[in-house]
Structure 1
Amino acid sequence: MDPEFILKAENKFVFTAFCLSMRELNKNHNYKIKIPVFLDATCSWIQHLADVRRDLHLASEVNLVPQNDSIPPSDIYNTLREPLNDRIRQFGRDNPLYSNLSLINLSRNDLKPSIMTTTYNVTQRGVKDQFITRLKMVKENKNKNKNILLPSINGDNISISLPELDKIAEIIHKANFKIYPSLDVIYKYFINMTKVLNKLEIPVILFTPCGLEIIQNYYVSKQNKVAINFAGKTKKMVIKEWIKKVDKNKQRGGIIPNIIHSLDA
């Protein structure tokens, strides 16, 4: 088994287990494979919203239409990779102060977290933090500012400043719904309906296809800090007191994730 080959795998331990099982299976065709098979949806939030919108094109992008063995499964993360890269590079070409962006070539894995968490109302700052968490930070010798290394069209890495990364995050954050306008329509519908219900100060009530009633009703909480002295030590705690007042921000921010999780369940 070539260690270098294994090191290229995204999940090295799972892939190693697979390789070992294949070796045993090659020795004995009756060998029982005991590796769990994980089943996952293709970006389930887009699947559900494509279904609600009856958008056949979008549904095909997330494998909701019948396919045969000659057609490979769709990969929406890879499908969005080039349009998102094109938008980033075009901005770099149009704005000399951000010329580094004209060389950006983000991979599928670089973009997947941002696309996947759109349904959780990830903010522009959240998109930026995802890149910082996943990728390598370096210090520039001249000004000692921290930069991040991103893949470039030249096949190597390019050093991007945090203000430049802010702009990349902004472009990605806005682009998903522009590329698929159908998503934008249904997304805004749920958000705007929640705003109306907030003004009426009533909870959001919805029913899943199987008839399960879902009630979303976030209340404002008041924090009370308490300090307890025991055996010469002080323990500080925060006790939340719920006030009978709708938390409008949480109502608005939670509607999409709660709808998707309800449909997932």
Structure 2
Amino acid sequence: MTSTPATPRESRRRPRRAALLLATAAAVSAVALLTGCAASAPQVGPNTTTAPDAAADVPRDAAPQGLKPLGPGFLGSVTTPSPEATITPEVGSWDGVTPPPGYRVILLSAGDDAATATLVTAVTNWARSTGVDLQAMTASNDDGIEADIEKAVELEPDLVVSAGDKMIDVLMLLSSQHLNQQFLVVGSELPEPTGNVTSVTWPGATFRGTGLGAADQPDPAAITPERAAAAVPAGVASVLHGLTGIVVRLE
């Protein structure tokens, strides 16, 4: 069989025809792709629901998972206390609020007076009963207190607990320099605490620093085992629930 050479007109038509076929094929492919996407997309209508965004389900500023809520009497009618505010929780409103596993606490104290010893014992007993990892440091003077505070912050515990009035003068100078570290002061308070310092006080246990008036002078007789044993879990419960930078006053 012999072939007839293409005429010039037919030669010009072939490229046009090829281009048209390519364009048609591309259009068909695009339609098929769109159809496939539409078929795979979920149908939304009156009787269907869409899956919620997983990130939207994560609450902000949430307490640690599994942490027991505070009782309604802890804050009373106050929703969120203002910085440096004083709250007076009902007795027992913090019961059952314990730290999560692996919670680390460093206990700082100075001196060997009876009141300080009572507070240290209360913190130690609380840590033992809750399974908290507790490390204790005791200083004999202001230089030692400063060194212990700095060392405690370097260790990055979940909480630093201060026990005893002798800690206050140095702590008020250093706590504001370590805003990422949470402090709990038991049996005394700072005169102008930053948001990372929470205090637990009660009548007779309201020392706020040297030279701030006779009304704030400590009463060693007010530091009883019963008071101290209630103060520690109340203060920790406040910190765990993000209520920091305030004074928790027990009546």
TM > 0.5: no
Q: What is the TM-score normalised by the length of structure 1?
A: 0.22
* Structure with a larger share of its residues in strand: 1
